[in-house]
A and B are shown apart, each in its own frame.
Chain A
Amino acid sequence: MSATASRDAAIALAIVVVFGSVAMLVAGVSPLDGFAALLIGALGSSQEIAETLVATTSLLFPALGVTLAFRAGLFNIGAEGQLIAGGLVAGLLGERLAGPAIVAIPLLLAAGALGGGVWGALAGLLRARFAANEVIATLMLNIIAALLAGYLIGGHETTPLPPSSWLPALIPDTRLTIALLLALALAFVLRWVLRATVIGYELRAAGDAPETARRAGIDLAKTAFWTMAASGAFAGLGGATIVTGVLHRFNLALSPGYGFIAIAVALVGELDPLLVTVAAFVFGILQNGAIGMQAAANVPRDVVTAIEGAIILVLSGRRAFKR
Chain B
Amino acid sequence: MIARAAFCLTSALVACCVVLGGCGRSTSQGKVKVGMVTDVGGLGDRSFNDSAYAGLVACKSRARAQIQVLQSKSAADYQPNLTVLATERFAEIFAIGFLMNKDLSEVARRFGDRSFAIVDAVVDAPNVESVTFKEEDGSFLAGALAALVTKTKSVAFLGGMDIPLLRKFEAGFAAGTREIDPTTKVLVKYVGSFDDVAAGKELTGVLYDQGADIVYAAAGKAGLGAIEEAKQRAGRYVIGVDSNQDGLAPGKVLTSMVKRVDNAVLRVCRDAVAGKRPSGHIVLGLAQDGVGLTDFRYTKIAIGEANIARIARIRNAIVDGKIVPPSTREELERFKPVPAP
Q: B-contacting residues of A (Cβ < 8 Å)?
A: 2, 5-6, 9-10, 13, 30, 32-33, 35-37, 39-41, 45, 47, 51, 54, 58, 147, 150-151, 154-157, 160, 173, 175, 242, 246-247, 249, 251-257, 270, 272, 275, 278-279, 282, 285, 288, 291-292, 294-298, 300-302, 305
Find out whether the CB atom of A253 lies under 8 angstroms from the CB atom of B75.
Answer: yes
Q: Which residues of A contact B21 (CB under 8 A)?
A: 32
Find out whether the CB atom of B76 lies under 8 angstroms from the CB atom of A296.
Answer: no
Find out whether the CB atom of B40 lies under 8 angstroms from the CB atom of A253.
Answer: yes
Find out whether the CB atom of A2 lies under 8 angstroms from the CB atom of B23.
Answer: no
Find out whether the CB atom of A295 lies under 8 angstroms from the CB atom of B8.
Answer: no
Q: Which residues of B contact A257 (CB under 8 A)?
A: 73-74
Find out whether the CB atom of A13 lies under 8 angstroms from the CB atom of B11.
Answer: yes
Whether B26 is near chain A, meaning CB under 8 Å from some CB there, is: yes
Q: Which residues of A contact B26 (CB under 8 A)?
A: 33, 296-298
Given A6-B4, A32-B22, A156-B163, 14 other A-B residues pairs in contact with their CB atoms under 8 A: A2-B3, A6-B7, A9-B11, A13-B11, A35-B22, A155-B161, A247-B76, A252-B75, A254-B74, A256-B73, A257-B73, A275-B8, A295-B35, A297-B26
Nearest CB of chain B from residue A76's CB, rounded to whole Å: 21
Task: State in angstroms the CA–CA spacing of A32 and B22 once bound together.
Answer: 6
Q: Which residue of B lies closest to A287 (CB)?
A: B73
Find out whether the CB atom of B4 lies under 8 angstroms from the CB atom of A2.
Answer: yes
- Give the residues from 1 to 35 in chain B that come closer than 8 angstroms, CB to CB, to chain A: 1, 3-5, 7-8, 11-12, 15-16, 18-19, 21-26, 35
Find out whether the CB atom of A301 lies under 8 angstroms from the CB atom of B18.
Answer: no
Q: Which residue of A lies closest to B83 (CB)?
A: A47
Q: Which of A5, A175, A257 has the most CB of B within 10 A?
A: A175
Whether B162 is near chain A, meaning CB under 8 Å from some CB there, is: yes
Whether B70 is near chain A, meaning CB under 8 Å from some CB there, is: yes
Stretch from B55-63, B84-92, B139-147, B150-158 contacting the other chain: B84-92
Q: Could you list 29 examples of A-B contacts with CB < 8 Å? A: A2-B4, A6-B3, A32-B21, A32-B22, A35-B18, A35-B19, A36-B18, A36-B23, A36-B24, A39-B16, A40-B25, A45-B87, A47-B83, A54-B76, A151-B192, A155-B162, A157-B75, A242-B76, A249-B102, A252-B193, A253-B74, A255-B76, A256-B74, A257-B74, A275-B1, A275-B5, A291-B81, A295-B70, A301-B73
Nearest CB of chain B from residue A180's CB, rounded to whole Å: 15
Find out whether the CB atom of A33 lies under 8 angstroms from the CB atom of B24.
Answer: yes
Whether B68 is near chain A, meaning CB under 8 Å from some CB there, is: yes
Q: Which residues of A contact B80 (CB under 8 A)?
A: 51, 288, 291
Q: A-contacting residues of B (Cβ < 8 Å)?
A: 1, 3-5, 7-8, 11-12, 15-16, 18-19, 21-26, 35, 40, 68, 70-71, 73-77, 79-81, 83-85, 87-88, 99, 102, 110, 161-163, 192-193
Partner of B5, one of A278, A291, A295: A278
Q: Which residue of B lies closest to A45 (CB)?
A: B87
Q: Which residue of B lies closest to A13 (CB)?
A: B11
Nearest CB of chain B from residue A7's CB, rounded to whole Å: 10
Partner of A5, one of B4, B68, B110: B4
Nearest CB of chain B from residue A278's CB, rounded to whole Å: 5
Q: Which residues of B contact A251 (CB under 8 A)?
A: 75
Nearest CB of chain A from residue B190's CB, rounded to whole Å: 9
Per DSSP, chain B at the interface is helix
Q: Which residues of A contact B110 (CB under 8 A)?
A: 173
Find out whether the CB atom of B161 lies under 8 angstroms from the CB atom of A156.
Answer: yes
Task: State in angstroms the CA–CA spacing of A225 and B70 once bound together.
Answer: 42
- Given known contacts A156-B161, A301-B73, A39 and B15 CB-to-CB distance under 8 angstroms: yes
Q: Which residues of B contact A33 (CB under 8 A)?
A: 22, 24-26
Task: State in angstroms the CA–CA spacing of A295 and B77 once bound together.
Answer: 13
Find out whether the CB atom of B162 lies under 8 angstroms from the CB atom of A37.
Answer: no
Nearest CB of chain A from residue B5's CB, rounded to whole Å: 7
Partner of A291, one of B3, B15, B23, B77: B77
Task: State in angstroms the CA–CA spacing of A32 and B4 once bound together.
Answer: 26
Find out whether the CB atom of A255 lies under 8 angstroms from the CB atom of B74.
Answer: yes
Find out whether the CB atom of A275 lies under 8 angstroms from the CB atom of B4.
Answer: yes
Nearest CB of chain B from residue A158's CB, rounded to whole Å: 12
Q: Which residue of A lies closest to B16 (CB)?
A: A39
Q: Which residues of A contact B102 (CB under 8 A)?
A: 160, 249
Find out whether the CB atom of B71 lies under 8 angstroms from the CB atom of A294.
Answer: yes
Partner of B76, one of A40, A58, A298, A301: A58
Q: Which residues of A contact B25 (CB under 8 A)?
A: 33, 36-37, 40, 296-297
Task: State in angstroms the CA–CA spacing of A160 and B75 once bound together.
Answer: 14
Q: Which residues of A contact B77 (CB under 8 A)?
A: 256, 291
Q: Which residue of B lies closest to A150 (CB)?
A: B192
Nearest CB of chain A from residue B224's CB, rounded to whole Å: 19
Q: Which residue of A lies closest to B191 (CB)?
A: A150
Find out whether the CB atom of A39 lies under 8 angstroms from the CB atom of B4.
Answer: no
Task: State in angstroms the CA–CA spacing of A305 and B42 once bound together.
Answer: 14
Q: Which residues of B contact A13 (CB under 8 A)?
A: 11
Nearest CB of chain B from residue A119's CB, rounded to whole Å: 19
Q: Which residues of A contact B83 (CB under 8 A)?
A: 47
Task: State in angstroms the CA–CA spacing of A305 and B71 once bound together.
Answer: 12
Q: Which residues of A contact B73 (CB under 8 A)?
A: 256-257, 301, 305
Q: Which residues of B contact A278 (CB under 8 A)?
A: 5, 8
Q: Which residues of A contact B19 (CB under 8 A)?
A: 35-36, 39-40
Nearest CB of chain A from residue B262's CB, rounded to whole Å: 21
Partner of B4, one of A9, A156, A157, A302: A9
Task: State in angstroms the CA–CA spacing of A294 and B68 once bound together.
Answer: 9
- Given known contacts A295-B88, A296-B25, A301 and B71 CB-to-CB distance under 8 angstroms: yes
Nearest CB of chain A from residue B120's CB, rounded to whole Å: 13
